[in-house]
């Protein structure tokens, strides 16, 4: 059994995650593009922003089954290629309509393929006692891109226009496809965690429905809702208050989340994944509630608060979902967990877009914070002295 984490293949996986994250994170500025360039309403922004994730959620059963049956590299390469082509095509679209909707659907499914395949590879390359840290490092690679891509995109858009922004997103996805070609996966019987045979293992869906994993999926859906609301509606809210730049939010988010992932990535493994998840989700709710009273100079501070909570929460919940699961079923389970997160993201962003149009942005953040509070009530409480 291998005990080291930062192997050559793990580092290559991080490069795939970072380069693909640049392509994906560029679209974090889509609300600003839609608001400023296409004069879209809050409802239209919510619909378009949520469509990519809704399509990924609908594809969860197929993606989960596929990742458990085929080599992960196939999906990393093909997903990145399709994502790059859809981003390039997006650069040619200058009006809200069926073409934009179709491209967002393609973009969302291809993202789900690459991201879930990459996180599955991270867990397969990790020793069992370092699952949260492995997932955290995988997420850290994405988080660097979360800051770099919006900052670069915002500056390029002001100087050269939005078409170049989407073309660079396409190029980043193609670079990820090239890195993916070098991936060499461990055989299932040689992964860092001992594997049960496919015949001995229940299906990923059956594992996901186990009561012991309820908290991970409830927390994942609530976190997705809060993440989606913050990343989608904070931008038009700040612009309406007089802001001209919004990338400070992403810089604050990424810098803080990255520090947590790099230096405190083992907290969940050490103090208990359930305990850390509960506390971090509480922090999530507090930040969302505070955003209802936004003043646009606060954007970096709110981003940092969200980054601190997210830096702890996502790897802790993900590790809680896949702990003690054989590698032969991890791809499916990680996909279902991602589906829970993305379902919360997409459904709340879609619905709250209409709420924001009718009643304004502050009520959206307060309602979302209330949803997080309800999710906390539904999660099992961490017991003192017990590490789970």
For 28-62, how does the pLDDT look when each residue is reduced to its tens digit (9 = 90+)?
888 888 888 888 888 888 888 778 878 887 887 77
- Cα(286)–Cα(289) distance, rounded to whole angstroms? 5
- Cα(139)–Cα(317) distance, rounded to whole angstroms? 13
Helices (H), 241-326: 247-263, 267-271, 273-291, 299-322
| Percentage of residues of the chain with pLDDT beyond 90 | 21
Of the candidates 372, 362, 265, the residue with the CA atom closest to the CA atom of residue 318:
265
- Write the pLDDT tens digit of every residue in 211-252: 767 778 888 899 999 998 998 899 889 988 888 888 788 888
- Write the pLDDT tens digit of every residue in 260-303: 877 776 666 667 777 888 888 999 999 999 999 988 788 899 99
Structural domain boundaries in the chain: 8-179+203-378
Is the pLDDT reported for residue 173 higher than 90?
yes
Yes or no: say if 299 and 246 are a contact pair by the CB < 8 Å rule: yes
- Write the pLDDT tens digit of every residue in 192-221: 444 444 445 566 667 766 776 777 888 889
Output the pLDDT for position 295.
85
Output the pLDDT for position 195.
43
Calculate Rg over the CA atoms of the chain: 19
Output the pLDDT for position 385.
42
Q: Does domain 8-179+203-378 sit in CATH 1.20.1250.20?
A: yes
Query: CB within 8 A of 363, min separation 6: which ones?
Result: 292, 355, 356
Is the pLDDT reported for residue 148 higher than 90?
no
Is the pLDDT reported for residue 186 higher than 80?
no
- Write the pLDDT tens digit of every residue in 347-378: 888 889 889 988 999 999 999 999 999 998 87
Output the pLDDT for position 226.
93
Output the pLDDT for position 191.
47
What count of other Cβ atoms lies within 10 Å of the Cβ of residue 380?
16
Of the candidates 228, 205, 310, 198, the residue with the CA atom closest to the CA atom of residue 261:
310
Count Cβ atoms within 10 A of the Cβ of residue 181 and give its class: 0-12 exposed, 13-18 middle, 19 or more buried: exposed
Is the pLDDT reported for residue 381 higher than 70?
no
- Res. 387 pLDDT band, cuts 50 70 90: very low
Output the pLDDT for position 290.
95
- Write the pLDDT tens digit of every residue in 73-120: 888 899 999 999 999 998 888 888 899 999 999 988 998 888 888 888
- Write the pLDDT tens digit of every residue in 317-331: 877 777 667 666 766
Output the pLDDT for position 266.
65
Yes or no: say if 234 and 43 are a contact pair by the CB < 8 Å rule: no
From 265-274, 304-313, 328-337, the region with the lowest mean pLDDT: 265-274
Query: CB within 8 A of 335, min separation 6: which ones?
Result: 60, 63, 64, 67, 112, 116, 204
Nearest-5° angle of CA 306, CA 159, CA 244? Answer: 40
């Amino acid at each position: 059994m291998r005990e080291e984490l930062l192997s050559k293949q793990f580092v290559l996986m991080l490069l795939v995650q970072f380069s693909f994250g640049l392509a994906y994170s560029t679209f974090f500025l889509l609300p600003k593009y839609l608001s400023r360039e296409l004069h879209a309403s809050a409802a239209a922004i919510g619909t378009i922003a949520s469509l990519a994730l809704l399509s990924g959620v609908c594809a969860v059963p197929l993606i989960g089954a596929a990742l458990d049956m085929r080599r992960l590299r196939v999906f990393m390469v093909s997903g990145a290629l399709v994502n790059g082509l859809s981003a390039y095509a997006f650069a040619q679209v200058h009006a809200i309509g069926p073409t934009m909707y179709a491209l967002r659907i393609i973009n969302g499914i291809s993202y789900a393929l690459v991201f879930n395949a990459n996180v599955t590879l991270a867990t397969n390359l990790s020793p069992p006692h370092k699952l949260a840290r492995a997932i955290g490092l995988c997420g850290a690679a994405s988080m660097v891109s979360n800051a770099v891509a919006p900052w670069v995109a915002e500056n390029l858009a002001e100087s050269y226009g939005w078409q170049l922004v989407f073309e660079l997103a396409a190029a980043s996805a193609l670079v990820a496809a090239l890195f993916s070609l070098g991936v060499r996966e461990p055989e299932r019987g040689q992964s860092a965690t001992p594997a049960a045979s496919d015949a001995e293992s229940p299906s990923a869906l059956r594992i996901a429905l186990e009561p012991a994993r309820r908290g991970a999926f409830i927390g994942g859906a609530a976190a997705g809702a809060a993440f989606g609301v913050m990343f989608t509606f904070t931008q038009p809210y700040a612009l309406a208050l007089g802001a001209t730049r919004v990338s400070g939010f992403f810089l604050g988010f990424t810098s803080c989340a990255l520090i947590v992932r790099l230096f405190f990535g083992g907290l969940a493994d050490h103090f208990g994944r359930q305990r850390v998840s509960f506390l971090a989700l509480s922090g999530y709710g507090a930040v969302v509630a505070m955003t209802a009273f936004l003043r646009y100079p606060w954007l970096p501070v709110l981003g940092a608060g969200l980054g601190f909570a997210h830096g702890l929460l996502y790897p802790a919940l993900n590790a809680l979902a896949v702990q003690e699961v054989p590698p032969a079923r991890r791809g499916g389970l990680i996909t279902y967990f991602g589906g829970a997160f993305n379902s919360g993201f997409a459904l709340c962003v879609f619905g709250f877009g209409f709420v924001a149009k009718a009643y304004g942005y502050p009520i959206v953040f307060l309602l979302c914070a209330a949803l997080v509070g309800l999710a906390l009530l539904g999660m099992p409480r961490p017991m003192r002295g017990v590490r789970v």
